[in-house]
Amino acid sequence: MAKRDIPYTDYFTEVVKTMTGTGLLLVSKDGNDRPNAMTIGWGTIGAIWGKPMWVILVRPSRYTYQCIEKTGDFTINVPPPGLKEAVTFCGTKSGRDYDKFSTCKLTAVPGRAVNAPIIGECVVNYECRVVHHNDVLPSELVGAIQNSAYKDGDYHRVYFGEILEAYADEDAGRKLK
């Protein structure tokens, strides 16, 4: 599928709805240059420090955490409805145990600007470079979220990823409806 550059602000509503529904695929590379995909249902998008930005959260226990700590780069990929099964797989299995790209028959297309591939089958792709990170602070979090998200600790690292490239399938508007 041919990709075209888009303003990073395009399709925000559709992207966030997909994220909170099916989920999005966060891709990063491990120390052996092997790409790994993780499903995310949480994240925010906008602009910080005058730069287009994705804010994402990754738990230290995740394989993706090691990858991003190593490379500082990641991509966010918006799956079409047909990729639902792959998104479920990537959200329940670890990259320590599976090569998710080969198992799910996903195509890793090298990033243009970052050291992480995008997923060719996804409808919208963002290439991001970490410009800042901090952590979720147990002491500054309301109790309800402590209970719902952190019963086992493993507090998320918050990555601020500058969006260096944003592109989409030619017919993204139709596919995201």
List of residues contacting a copy of itself (CB under 8 A): 9-13, 16-17, 19-20, 41-50, 53-55, 57, 131-137, 140-142, 144-145, 148-149, 158
Question: What is the spatial distance between Cα 85 and Cα 145, in angstroms, rounded to a whole number?
Answer: 28
CB closer to a copy of itself, 71 vs 104:
71
* 159 CB-contact burial (10 Å; exposed 0-12 / middle 13-18 / buried 19+): buried
Question: What is the spatial distance between Cα 59 and Cα 62, in angstroms, rounded to a whole number?
Answer: 6
CB closer to a copy of itself, 35 vs 52:
52
> Which residues face 73 on adjacent strands?
129
CB closer to a copy of itself, 82 vs 143:
143
CB closer to a copy of itself, 17 vs 112:
17
Minimum distance from CB of 174 to a copy of itself (Å)? 17
Which residues are CB-contacts of 93 (< 8 A; sequence separation ≥ 6)?
100, 103
Minimum distance from CB of 58 to a copy of itself (Å)? 12
Minimum distance from CB of 140 to a copy of itself (Å)? 5
Question: What is the spatial distance between Cα 95 and Cα 74, in angstroms, rounded to a whole number?
Answer: 15
Minimum distance from CB of 5 to a copy of itself (Å)? 16
